Amino acid sequence: MMLNSLRHFILFLFLSFALLPAFRAVGRPTIIAVSVDDEYDRYKKRADDFFKEGKYFEARRQYQNCLEVPGFEDDAYAKEQIEECTTGMKLRQQVDEAILQNKGSETVGLLSQLLNLNPDDALTKMQLADYYEREGNQLYSLQKYADAKARYIEALNYTAKQETLMLQIRNCEENLKPKVPVYVQRPPKLIGLKVAAVAVALGAGLYAINLRNDYQSKLGALSQISQTADPTGSGIISKDMYHQYDEAYTAAEAAQKKNGLFKACLGVAAVATVTELYLLMHKPKPRTHALQWKPSSQSWGLAISHTF
């Protein structure tokens, strides 16, 4: 009986050691499943991020990695997304070809298809915003402000950076308003001043000439009478010639006293002449002021100009 008990004990020990690896293996599937799920989630998250950005080649590669994780070889989500990425890659290539061939309407149609495929496509939204803004700039440069405004408004639907577009829209609205006459600063009318300067110059000059001629004439008359009344130069004038000599001397003396007025007239004439020459040579130019903001027709952004 003791032998049987010993045999049972030995059998128990044998079975315990034999089954121990099996008991240890029981927990392994749970541990492995958790590790596999984490790996799949990492690939899926990367793929989804690339897909939202519109990077379909990178996204498809990550979705293919999802299918290589054990237990996820037939994952329906990854397979569906791979097909979406393949379609997106084909459309993106067609967009690039349309842009190179300058096919505007075709480009917009293809970009719209990409957005229908993936409404979160950030790259496609940026391309659409740039396309409409560039078209708006070209129309603005052609002064087609209503059409340019429509393009800018369309671009607003695809971008979060709206400050520049809003400014361009306001520019279009300003240009579409009825034109108000621009009052330009005119040069002052200087005809009257010029005429006055000419009149003063001529009047003062003529009066100075008359004063000089009068003085010379009376001085000549005095000299002639002096030679007749005192031909020898003795200083003795006959009584019958004295009256004439005295009148001629008084007249010459009065003319000489006007010498200061003669000089003043010459000065006035000179100043008036210089003023007239200045007015003729320096003509004020009209001044206009204009500050304009306009978009660049060949690129994105604005150009500003100011006229002095």
pTM of the model: 0.49
More confident residue, 97 or 15: 97
| pLDDT above 70: percentage of residues in the chain | 53
Q: Are 40 and 66 in contact (CB under 8 A)?
A: yes
Reported as a single tens digit per residue, the pLDDT across 87-131 is: 999 999 999 999 999 888 899 999 999 999 999 999 999 999 999
Average of pLDDT values for 65-81?
94
Greater pLDDT, 213 or 120: 120
Average pLDDT value for the chain: 76
Digit-coded pLDDT (tens) for 169-188: 999 999 998 876 655 555 55
Q: What is the predicted pLDDT for the residue at 40?
A: 95
Give the DSSP letter string of the chain: -HHHHHHHHHHHHHHHHHHHHHHHHHTHHHHHHHHHHHHHHHHHHHHHHHHHHT-HHHHHHHHHHHHTSTT-TT-HHHHHHHHHHHHHHHHHHHHHHHHHTT-HHHHHHHHHHHHHH-TT-HHHHHHHHHHHHHHHHHHHHTT-HHHHHHHHHHHHTT-S--HHHHHHHHHHHHHHSPPPPPPPBPPP--HHHHHHHHHHHHHHHHHHHHHHHHHHHHHHHHHHHHHHH-TT-SS---HHHHHHHHHHHHHHHHHHHTHHHHHHHHHHHHHHHHHHHHHHH-PPPPB--EEEEEE-SSSSSEEEEEE-
> For position 37, what pLDDT does the model report?
87
305 bridge partner residues = 292
pLDDT, position 18: 52
The candidate with the shortest Cα–Cα distance to 62, out of 86, 45, 77, is 45
Provide, rounded to the nearest whole percent, the portion of the chain with pLDDT above 90: 41
Position 152 scores a pLDDT of: 93
Least confident of 67-76, 104-113, 295-304: 295-304
Find the mean pLDDT for residues 245-253: 71
Tens digits of per-residue pLDDT, 277-294?
676 666 655 554 445 555
- Asked whether the predicted pLDDT for residue 167 surpasses 70, the reply is yes
Return the pLDDT at 30: 42
Give the pLDDT of residue 293: 54
Comparing 270 with 157, the larger pLDDT belongs to 157
Higher pLDDT, 268 or 113: 113
- Residues 190 and 275: beta-carbon distance below 8 Å: no
Who has greater pLDDT, 69 or 284? 69
According to the model, what pLDDT value does residue 236 have? 65
pLDDT of 253 > 80? The answer is: no
Q: What is the pLDDT of residue 251?
A: 73
**Per-residue pLDDT, 73:** 93
- pLDDT class of 50 with cuts at 50, 70, 90: very high
Q: What is the pLDDT of residue 75?
A: 95
Q: Is the pLDDT of residue 147 over 90?
A: yes
Check residues 82 and 213 and name the one with the higher pLDDT. 82
pLDDT for 170: 93
Q: What pLDDT is recorded for position 172?
A: 93
